[in-house]
Amino acid sequence: MSVPERILIATSNPGKLRDFAGAALALGIRIQPVPNFSQLPTVVEDGLTFEANARKKAEAYSRAAIDEIVLADDSGLEVDALGGAPGVHSARYAADDPSQAGSNTDDEANNEKLMRNLKSVPAAQRTGRFVCVIAAARNGRTLAVFHGKAEGIILDARQGSNGFGYDPFFFFPQIQKTFAELNAEEKAKYSHRGAAFRSFLKWYAEI
């Protein structure tokens, strides 16, 4: 399979960069943020779907890396008992109005709100999934979009100290662990982001 030497990711989120690096490690691919990413104008993630946000970010940030493929992802947690929430608002869930929040809210605050909202939900009904959509763009145009999911159960107490976001509460039955109990390379084998990234690599090998 033909693989790139490096892949540019449109994020400054250290957790996401670790996830991508974990997925790329075995293939010898270097994961790097878009050059001067912190100095670029922030893209407002106001899309109604993960795909809309991923496309918007990939297209905007790819203009800062002429002729290179840039990946951007949008991802989050969908909880069945909450009607699919936090969903596209996962990173801003703790805000008074997540749909209007101008910036992400703290992981701890997001998790605390999730636990409050699930307090009366029985364990058997605490099903949900992590969803990831990756958009690949070049020179402001989306080339392809890739999807990944991981089905699990939302615990009522944290387990593990790795990962980020909702990872300590997301129990993956297949391995009887939360995502926060895995290192980045292990997590990539099972995670939504790892699945979407592998789909990207398959597409890349065929272009």
Residue pair 152/128 in contact by the 8 Å Cβ criterion = yes
Q: Quote the pLDDT of residue 77.
A: 98
Is residue 39 classed exposed, middle or buried when 0-12, 13-18 and 19+ CB atoms within 10 A define those classes?
A: exposed
How large a percentage of the chain has pLDDT more than 70?
99
The pLDDT of 68-81, averaged and rounded, is 97
Instruction: Give the single-character DSSP code of 166.
Output: T
Tokens linked to 85: 């929430």
pLDDT in tens, 84-93: 999 999 999 9
- In the chain, domain spans: 6-206
Residue 26 has pLDDT above 90, yes or no: no
Who has greater pLDDT, 1 or 199?
199
Average per-residue pLDDT in the chain? 94
Tokens linked to 20: 């991508």
Catalytic residues: 74
Tokens linked to 77: 């947690």
Is residue 81 classed exposed, middle or buried when 0-12, 13-18 and 19+ CB atoms within 10 A define those classes?
A: middle
Report whether the peptide linkage leading into residue 14 is cis, meaning its omega lies within 30 degrees of zero: no
Of the candidate CATH numbers 3.90.950.10, 3.40.50.300, 3.40.50.410, 3.40.50.150, the domain formed by 6-206 belongs to 3.90.950.10
Tokens linked to 164: 């980020």
pLDDT in tens, 174-190: 999 999 999 999 999 99
Q: Quote the pLDDT of residue 4.
A: 77
Q: Quote the pLDDT of residue 181.
A: 98
Residue pair 133/126 in contact by the 8 Å Cβ criterion = no
Type of residue numbered 98 = P
Instruction: Give the single-character DSSP code of 82.
Output: G
Residue 205 has pLDDT above 90, yes or no: no
pLDDT in tens, 29-60: 899 999 999 999 999 999 999 999 999 999 99
CA 19, 185, 204: angle at the middle one, nearest 5? 65
pTM tops 0.75, yes or no: yes
Residue 1 has pLDDT above 70, yes or no: no
Name the residue among 5, 3, 25 with its Cα closest to residue 189.
25
